[in-house]
Amino acid sequence: MRLAIIIAICTASTLGGALWYGIYTRLPEIPMDHISQLSAEEYQQGELRAQDAITRRSPRLNSLLQTQDLKQGAPVFIRIFKESKELEIWIQNEIDGKFQYLHTWEIAAMSGHLGPKLAEGDRQAPEGFYYVAQTQMKPDSAYHLAFNIGYPNSYDRAHQRTGSFIMVHGNRVSAGCFAMTDYWIEEIYTLCAQALKGGQPYFRVHIFPFRMTDERLAQETQSKWYNFWKNLQQGYHWFEQKKTPPNVTVQDKLYQFSE
């Protein structure tokens, strides 16, 4: 049996996401780079909180990136798969401009079921094609770190879907958002923030009910969302074939895809 004694001052976020400060003896399963040295007052300043996470997480991320000849600050692309509760990040290769798979993180909490978000308060996580600019980054989030995916988009609005403040965030609590552990959101946030800092004007977030293979979609022919998912599959196949995210527009209430 592994025993550990923790001597710490614990300052929690307003919704229970604890970070540990001060003197500590950490449990073996808690990575050392998750331990913040910020004071409680400093933690309340979002920019300091984000920079602290970036500083602590960059060494491990840089090692991961270097194994694939990628670098921090290059453009990123995110895909989320609700059925398997996975968030994956792809990084653009500066040689040919295509995106390479980097890593998959498990989504810790996600409410709702397969299918799109329809209305404010339905506790449903959306599906579709979104993007995140610098103004949507939330370093001062009550859920540790977060970014707003931009729901509703033009497709959602064309279908009279309502809702707001749909985030990828920490703290493991979800009421329609995609909640990660604080440890994992620090990695995801770092890669995204550094890409924006490096000049990417926005990064795309594509959200699917499941991996949109022909075989998997064939199991859903009786679903009321089958035609919607067939439209999503076009965007999924585009990236699978080209390894560059498509430009996404909306025409006649359908997603359209182009270079």
User: Which of the residues are catalytic?
Assistant: 169, 177
Q: HEC profile for the chain?
A: CCCCCCCCEEEECCCCCEEEECCCCCCCCCCHHHCCCCCHHHHCCHHHHHHHHHHHHHHHHHHHHHCCCCCCCCCEEEEEECCCCEEEEEEECCCCCCEEEEEEEECCEECCCCCCCCCCCCCCCCCEEEEEEHHHEECCCCCCCEEECCCCCHHHHHCCCCCCCCEEECCCCCCCCEECCHHHHHHHHHHHHHHHHCCCCEEEEEEECCCCCHHHHHHHCCCCCHHHHHHHHHHHHHHHHHCCCCEEEEECCEEEEEC
Alpha-carbon gap, residue 162 to 149, rounded angstroms: 14
